[in-house]
Structure 1
Amino acid sequence: MGSRLQVCRPRRSGKEVAVFRTLYGKLSAVLLLLFLGIGILFVLLTLFTTRVHLQEMTQKLNRSLALHIASETPLIQGGRVKEGAIREIFHMLMAVHPGIEVYLLDKEGKILTYSAPPGKVKRERVSLAPLESFLRGAKAFPILGDDPRSPRKEKVFSVAPVPPGGPVEGYLYIILGGEEYDTVSRMLQGSYIVRLSTWVAGGGVLFALMTGLLLFYRITYRHRRLAKAVVDFQESGFSDAPDILPGLDAGKGDEIGQLGAAFTKMADRIAQQIRDLRQSDHLRRELVTHVSHDLRTPLTSLQGYLETLSMKKAELSPGEREEYLRVALLHCRRLSTLVSELFELSRLDSPDVAIRHERFSLGDLVQDVLQKFRLAAEEKKVHLSVRIEEGIPFAVGDIALMDRVLENLIGNALRHTPENGRITIEAENAGSGLAVRVSDTGCGIPPERLSRLFDPIPGRFGDPGKDGEGAGLGLVIARRILELHGTDITVHSVVHEGSTFAFHLPGTDYARPSP
């Protein structure tokens, strides 16, 4: 009649999660790219600074080269270029330092003659701004001037006015790094020092990378442990809460520790809820089974008596017909009571049930409830007594539901108390509330039945009374009402001596005399 509670267990694929998809893999990839970028940047920066440093040192060391040559040999005289002196200088410099290039400029920067092979020079003039900065004694080296052999390149140079001491008629412009210098620079960049620097940089980056990976592995250890715990908890069907706090060092107070503590609490709560759901499902199926049995028994009896009346009404005496009708009516009432209790229990278990808290006199409520049982108690010769402590405070709760609790407890006591027995209702002050007890001198409850006395299974432990009337769901309903009021009910029972049901209710500071 009811579906069985199922907890779905997700299946893991046979293929494990790829390493690069884990946090450690992503951090490692980011670290690798970071150090690779740093290594490349370091190498490029080393090459650049080496080149700039060479240019600076070359220009500083040869700063006065052009001035010395111009001072020793007149190159322009009377506005005319001395070709012989120029060729002699070109020949001498090329023999001494083949890496330099010599240019003679007019005072506007136009190239008059040069030492480069024919067809190599691409410019007709050079900019005078760097030359003037050089001649003014600028201290920021290197100073780069136009390279006549290239339309776009600039190189370090040495320059001197011609003549050095008189009116400027031109300039001796010496490029300190010609094409041969470019070749030497490339060779220098591939030299042992540069290679050594590159290898040292690469080794340093690799060492830092490995150290970073080890540190990341250690740092993400707790994260991996937490992730594994989550997966294990999921694979267990959310029923076995993992104990991961010792491995997470939750006492550190960092985010992983806080996350682990929160997950542990959440897992414990989910596991407990799963156990409660399974227990509730088990009780629900048992309830359906026993309700079906308890409904079928009076229905079968009712059907039997009515069929007998229908088939043998001419053969039965008026007294027998009256008895059959009385028993049939009794079973109808039992069915009505059981169905009403089932609906009431279902309503109380609903999350939408509302409790109306109000102040009321517990003594007045007890007297009102006892009036409902006076006649039945007198017929059964059971004595009803009330003991209410003087000056007890008002009780706080839903008066209609508390009326139902007392009614169920007294009705249950009356069903199980024999003739000349006694039922006592007591109430006394208990600190911030009231203690209530309902005692009887009935047959008592065996110890093996006490632990499951309040299970929602009608008639399971209630001994049938007169004409088969059982205990029903009265005790279960009473306990549920008290739970909604934030309290619980306890029972103490001795077989053949009687039982006592006790519970507490919150009270107010306004005392009321006992009735």
Structure 2
Amino acid sequence: MPRPLFQTLYARLALGLFLLLVIVGGLFTVLSLYSVREYNAAVNQALNRDLASHLVSDRNLVTDGKINHSELKRLFDLYMSINPSIEIYLLDQEGLILSYSADPAKIKRKHVALAPIQRLLSNPDAYPIQGDDPRSHDRHKVFSVTPVPSAEHPTGYLYVVLRGEEYDFAESMVHSDRLLRMGGGALAISLFVGLLAGLLFFRLLTRRLSRLTARVEAFEAEAKDISRADDTEGSGVPGDDVDYLATRFDQMAERIAGQLELLKDKDHQRRQLVAQVSHDLRTPLASIQGYLETLGMKQQELNPDERRRFLSVALAETLRLSKLVDELFELAALDARERQPFAEPFMPAELLHDVVQKHRPKAEQAGVALSISTVQPAMALADIAMTERVLDNLIGNAVDHSSRGAEVKLSVTASIGGVEICVADAGDGIAPADIDHVFDPFYQAPGASRAGHAGLGLAIARRMAELQHGRVSVESRPGAGATFRFWLPLVDSQAKESTAL
């Protein structure tokens, strides 16, 4: 299933770019507004740098070396009417406000700091320099200043605030909305262009990664050897494409490591199988060769009974060799799944009776009794030929491991969702260390004799049971015999399982 768009690396990069542009745009707007204010203040102070001195000279504020207070009052009244954007203050040499043109109710300071005034007088081109605003306790504004009555004999300062309260109010009324609209429009256009360019660049950058992610998803969806658990696990991988690919890479690495371990195990089994097959083939061949060579070299010395005995042994070994080769081919075909079961409904109880009748002569010859203790009728869905082969191996194995006079008990019972056939012998049992290996090919317990068996019968029985969706298990205690349980699914349960699959 394709991953949601919001989980892709492209979407996350786009979101990150959008947030970055918003932050950068906001900082740019704030810095721009601050820079514009500083620039306007510098321009205003530069243009009106000599305004205070011009007011003194043009309005005759100094007469006979003294300040003309009546003319100063007229100046205050005049500029409050014709140019309310400036505010004029008369300061003494300590910065104390002596008189002013502003509304007395709005004056918050009684004293103006002299440091900015001295700095501007000593360096008139060092602007913008902001001084105290008498209408606020903490606000500062650009100003123009000149000593009065003269620079040679100053008794105070004419202090002109260039952007008074009336100017601030008019500017906020006229320009605030316009600046916001202009700044907002510029920011929106910048964001749109930057986001569009970024999305195009990120698309080109992540295009190959998106193709790789899609190919991995398609491989995971179409692979036939991936279990359902892996598919469920992979569908909910959190994060973006990189996280998805990292998770898939880890899963693939684990799967490859598991397959390598499986190959190593298979290779070890193959080597062991070759060694065991060589041993089991060499034994009857050596026996056949020995008897035939003896028969050939001493043919004239042997009487007819000895010749018949030699030929009989050679023939028995030949049959044993033929059976071993047939079992090897059969096991190989089962492992390669070249032989597939043909499932059909049948009664296991009826088949069990037929198989018991087939093995009864051999059992009687060995002095072993075969008895069917419990039979519960039930219809199983399986391959009849394979089921018969499994029963042949289990019953034959039980007879071979039972002592003379013992009894092999068989039963057919209904189990959960299936039919269970039990084959219980009264032999020596299986040691706990060997019980997990009884179904391994060519396995032989330490100290035990093969008695003509290659150790493939139980391995073939398990392979055939598994191909029919059944199972074979064993329970045993040393000295108490062994019980093999062969389970097959019922007709209804098998049909439901096939539908679910």
Find the partner of 1:314 among 300, 304, 312: 300
1:450, 1:313 → 2: CA distance? 48
Change (3 A) 1:462 1:351: farther
Partner residue in 2 for 1:337? 323
Partner residue in 2 for 1:434? 419
Change (3 A) 1:263 1:426: farther
1:320, 1:372 → 2: CA distance? 32
State whether structure 2 residue 484 is matched by structure 1 residue 501: yes
Find the partner of 2:273 among 287, 312, 318: 287
Change (3 A) 1:328 1:462: farther
Partner residue in 1 for 2:430? 445
Find the partner of 1:374 among 360, 363, 373: 360
Contact residue 445 and residue 494 of structure 1 kept, 8 A = yes
Contact residue 363 and residue 388 of structure 1 kept, 8 A = no
Partner residue in 2 for 1:300? 286
Partner residue in 2 for 1:118? none
Q: Return the letter of the residue paired with 1:399.
A: I
Change (3 A) 1:259 1:308: same
Secondary structure at the residue paired with 1:368? Answer: helix
Partner residue in 2 for 1:269? 255
Secondary structure at the residue paired with 2:419? Answer: strand
Q: Return the letter of the residue paired with 1:379.
A: Q
Q: Return the letter of the residue paired with 1:294.
A: D
1:387 CA drift (Å): 3.0
Contact residue 444 and residue 499 of structure 1 kept, 8 A = yes
Find the partner of 1:385 among 366, 371, 390: 371
1:297 CA drift (Å): 0.8
Find the partner of 2:458 among 475, 487, 495: 475
Secondary structure at the residue paired with 2:410? Answer: strand
1:262, 1:496 → 2: CA distance? 52
2:380, 2:466 → 1: CA distance? 16
Contact residue 439 and residue 458 of structure 2 kept, 8 A = yes
1:500 CA drift (Å): 0.9
CA RMSD of aligned residues (A): 4.2
1:140-191, Cα deviation, whole Å (9 max, x unpaired): xxxxxxxxxxxxxxxxxxxxxxxxxxxxxxxxxxxxxxxxxxxxxxxxxxxx
Secondary structure at the residue paired with 1:252? Answer: coil
State whether structure 2 residue 459 is matched by structure 1 residue 486: no
1:251 CA drift (Å): 6.0
Q: Return the letter of the residue paired with 2:428.
A: C
Secondary structure at the residue paired with 1:441? Answer: coil
1:508 CA drift (Å): 2.6
Moved over 6 A (4+): none
Q: Return the letter of the residue paired with 1:495.
A: P
1:265, 1:427 → 2: CA distance? 44
1:448 CA drift (Å): 1.7
1:425, 1:268 → 2: CA distance? 45
Number of residue pairs aligned between Structure 1 and Structure 2 = 289
Partner residue in 2 for 1:108? none
Secondary structure at the residue paired with 1:503? Answer: strand
1:17-48, Cα deviation, whole Å (9 max, x unpaired): xxxxxx99xx9xxx9xxx9xxxxxxxxxxxxx
Secondary structure at the residue paired with 2:490? Answer: strand
Contact residue 384 and residue 423 of structure 1 kept, 8 A = yes
Partner residue in 2 for 1:424? 409
Q: Which structure 2 residues correspond to residues 68-147 of structure 1 after superposition, within 5 A? A: none
TM-score normalized by the length of structure 1: 0.49
TM-score normalized by the length of structure 2: 0.50
2:398, 2:447 → 1: CA distance? 11
Contact residue 283 and residue 456 of structure 1 kept, 8 A = no
- Segments of 5+ residues of structure 1 without an aligned counterpart are 1-22, 36-200, 231-247, 511-515
Contact residue 324 and residue 454 of structure 2 kept, 8 A = no
Contact residue 340 and residue 467 of structure 2 kept, 8 A = no
1:294, 1:448 → 2: CA distance? 23
Q: Return the letter of the residue paired with 1:310.
A: G
Partner residue in 1 for 2:398? 413
Q: Return the letter of the residue paired with 1:316.
A: L
Moved more, 419-428 or 381-390: 381-390
Secondary structure at the residue paired with 1:447? Answer: coil
Partner residue in 2 for 1:64? none
2:252, 2:378 → 1: CA distance? 41
Q: Return the letter of the residue paired with 1:386.
A: I
1:387, 1:260 → 2: CA distance? 60
1:362-414, Cα deviation, whole Å (9 max, x unpaired): 01111111122111111111010113433x32111111011100001111111
- Segments of 5+ residues of structure 2 without an aligned counterpart are 1-8, 22-186, 217-233, 494-501
Change (3 A) 1:462 1:406: farther
Change (3 A) 1:447 1:460: closer
Q: Which structure 2 residues correspond to residues 139-218 of structure 1 after superposition, within 5 A? A: none
Change (3 A) 1:461 1:283: farther
Partner residue in 2 for 1:186? none
Change (3 A) 1:333 1:253: same
